[in-house]
Structure 1
């Protein structure tokens, strides 16, 4: 995949085989006449598309701007129709293809947000809007050929103009040279490519027949997997905010594909720059430099004011490291506006831990929600100027927090001595990305919600309140404590949980909330199970002793 995709148009190729629908195909330079046959059925065309989808990954398909996503679809169009792509796919950026493509060669299937059963076919060209505007506030979009799909997402054979590696091109810019590969995207709200605009469906009568069906390709090659649920959703469901709540959003191009097989982590930097007189530079000045240089982290944070600006979503890699930006199912980088020895508000500061640390707790709690544990796998960060431990084995296996000084193949020594992350309270009332020891806090947060908070939270997909109010088993991403509560009180609103009830039996006539009564009963059940287990174990011991005695 990559990042927010922007793919530039290029001129039509100077030389290409031109297919005449009446029969012969002519090489315009060589003057040769080649006979061409067109598909006589949808099945034959499906086989031709399936062969391209199978063989294209690993192939480099450039245009004048490198391996852009549009370049791959230009090559795909020529392969299907045997004509110059400007006559079939048309000019424009990726977002423009569904508008500019020739209806003589494609059926245009515009996305209908009110039709959840509208799904693509393998071989369709998918056209996305893009996740955010790029240069000049323009959406460039993304495009690729549909290889397979489910009710929620589709897998494309694609190229990515922002992907690494990149090379210098004659126009003086660097463009991707990464060959075609597969990428999977949601239909709606995908963090990389935004919303689907629609699909270009090749007209089978126009597809050149090369005998792909006789080479074993066909409908079974491009497998679809609609799953148990039909229809594409109209909004993604997440269990943690990809944008940090309260942060100023400033999306940037150039995000990095994450290696999700590696542990979740956070990496901490400090800006280090000082103005004349050892004055701390302005937040906006440093942020502008990072954007222009292409070195943006996920977050830039001012520990004196608490201001946070976010440049990338949490589920992609940022660009603040010299190397290894891509390592981790989450790899969230934070740049702290702090320079050792600089003056701020008339006072000189030598260590980050001595600053007011405004907003620090909120950042740590947001990192918690993405399953990043509060540990330092390489140990405490060393002082500025001291080389840190950079153990590749630990990096590849240890989830948690790292200083820039601890990242392999990097040479910076920031952030220096770091404030404690374990003393910050765990946030309550919101689900986390993984089952952690925060379960009791989550349960307490749910039980203590007032009605207004419950009504607000139940509208946010993935929160404990949402799972509870929906009365459905969507609890796969919640902690065991919230799962247990959901099983007990599905559909019961917070107002009922807070209602006062009178206890019977032990503690008779005492008044507690319904939630406390449920928790009390749950504890009793747990104790009963433990007691029953002890009885069973004791009975087994007695039987074993009797058996030994009888044998003797």
Structure 2
């Protein structure tokens, strides 16, 4: 376990290394996965977790990283059948990308307006951040910025006879970047047609190919923000509070704005009454200029910034 074990900036809020210590090794292979969901999985309490999860932040146009195990410690996202070859413990570091490689799922989510990552059509910023991780793994752990494999589109990538899954001997000698679809003893076809060439080119310092990356609509951004922590229902993705919808959130915001307007109106009425009272008082005191006092008091009041705290409930 040489080199730094934590990826800079990655959150350890979902750390499973204490619960599942794993095997120490010198990782020289990156295995890419897709979660086939839109939120951060709990990976059955960590029992099937990878080393890292990359979650898209669509508003900020970047990936957020979560680390579950040290870089050079085996994780648990691959099947390892009895006999045959080792998978999780054969010097591999595993990354799950939150998103889908399935064109059917992509179509459903797109129709529903859910912002999500679809691996065959990753935006430039996602390629950039995946490349940054690949470069870090190369610079600090010597993982080759090479693949030499075809990342086949899903669903053709599924199954043992998908045409790209490695033999035992090929797997034992492999170094570099591969996908779940390439690992023997496994059936999964993720991450589908991941643009691995673009990722590795960017990691080597090359340019990221320009893509048609339409800006999300306001509706898509709103749904992405709400889905970020699982507050609205997404097809195939469990949520913690399925009662929140776009319309209910909008209604709640309008209710809070109404409360703010009422509070401000009450404060203005109080200030108006105060000005009148001072004017009346000044009029009854000799040798004073009531108009001057009112002007000065009004100017002083107008110079005050009123900060309104809208209650959360």
Structure 1 counterpart of 2:129, from 345, 355, 359: 359
Partners of 1:258 and 1:361 in 2: CA distance: 25
Equivalences, count: 174
State the shift of 1:421 in Å: 2.6
Q: What SS does the corresponding residue of 1:360 show, helix, strand or coil?
A: helix
CA contact (8 A) 2:134 2:200 kept: no
Aligned counterpart, 1:265: 29
Pairing 1:50-89 to 2, within 5 Å after superposition: none
Aligned counterpart, 1:410: 186
Partners of 1:398 and 1:408 in 2: CA distance: 12
**In structure 2, do the counterparts of structure 1 residues 382 and 425 end up closer, same or farther at CA, with 3 Å as the change threshold?**
closer
State the shift of 1:392 in Å: 1.4
State the shift of 1:360 in Å: 1.6
Pairing 1:416-427 to 2, within 5 Å after superposition: 416-419=192-195, 420-426=198-204
Partners of 2:39 and 2:25 in 1: CA distance: 34
**In structure 2, do the counterparts of structure 1 residues 333 and 348 end up closer, same or farther at CA, with 3 Å as the change threshold?**
closer
Aligned counterpart, 2:99: 338
Aligned counterpart, 2:45: 292
Higher relative contact order (CA 8 A, sep 6+): 2
Q: Once superposed, which parts of structure 1, at least 4 consecutive aligned residues long, lie more than 6 Å away?
A: none
Structure 2 counterpart of 1:373, from 105, 123, 144: 144
Structure 1 counterpart of 2:15, from 241, 251, 258: 251
CA contact (8 A) 2:145 2:204 kept: no
CA contact (8 A) 2:22 2:74 kept: yes
* Deviations 1:49-77 (CA, angstroms, capped at 9, x unpaired): xxxxxxxxxxxxxxxxxxxxxxxxxxxxx
By percentage of residues, which structure has more strand?
1
CA contact (8 A) 1:255 1:319 kept: no
**In structure 2, do the counterparts of structure 1 residues 405 and 246 end up closer, same or farther at CA, with 3 Å as the change threshold?**
same
**In structure 2, do the counterparts of structure 1 residues 352 and 310 end up closer, same or farther at CA, with 3 Å as the change threshold?**
farther
Aligned counterpart, 1:439: none
Partners of 1:258 and 1:391 in 2: CA distance: 24
**In structure 2, do the counterparts of structure 1 residues 326 and 298 end up closer, same or farther at CA, with 3 Å as the change threshold?**
same
State the shift of 1:345 in Å: 6.3
Is structure 2 residue 82 aligned with structure 1 residue 314? no
TM-score (normalised: structure 1): 0.29
**In structure 2, do the counterparts of structure 1 residues 397 and 360 end up closer, same or farther at CA, with 3 Å as the change threshold?**
same
**In structure 2, do the counterparts of structure 1 residues 349 and 366 end up closer, same or farther at CA, with 3 Å as the change threshold?**
closer
| C-alpha RMSD of matched pairs (Å) | 2.5
State the shift of 1:362 in Å: 2.1
Partners of 2:73 and 2:115 in 1: CA distance: 37
Partners of 1:347 and 1:251 in 2: CA distance: 27
Q: What SS does the corresponding residue of 1:272 show, helix, strand or coil?
A: coil
Partners of 1:363 and 1:345 in 2: CA distance: 29
Structure 1 counterpart of 2:54, from 297, 301, 311: 301
Q: What SS does the corresponding residue of 1:307 show, helix, strand or coil?
A: strand
Partners of 2:119 and 2:187 in 1: CA distance: 20
**In structure 2, do the counterparts of structure 1 residues 425 and 297 end up closer, same or farther at CA, with 3 Å as the change threshold?**
closer
State the shift of 1:259 in Å: 5.8
State the shift of 1:255 in Å: 3.5
TM-score (normalised: structure 2): 0.50
Pairing 1:116-265 to 2, within 5 Å after superposition: 240-249=3-12, 250-252=14-16, 253-258=19-24, 264-265=28-29
State the shift of 1:376 in Å: 1.5
By percentage of residues, which structure has more helix?
2
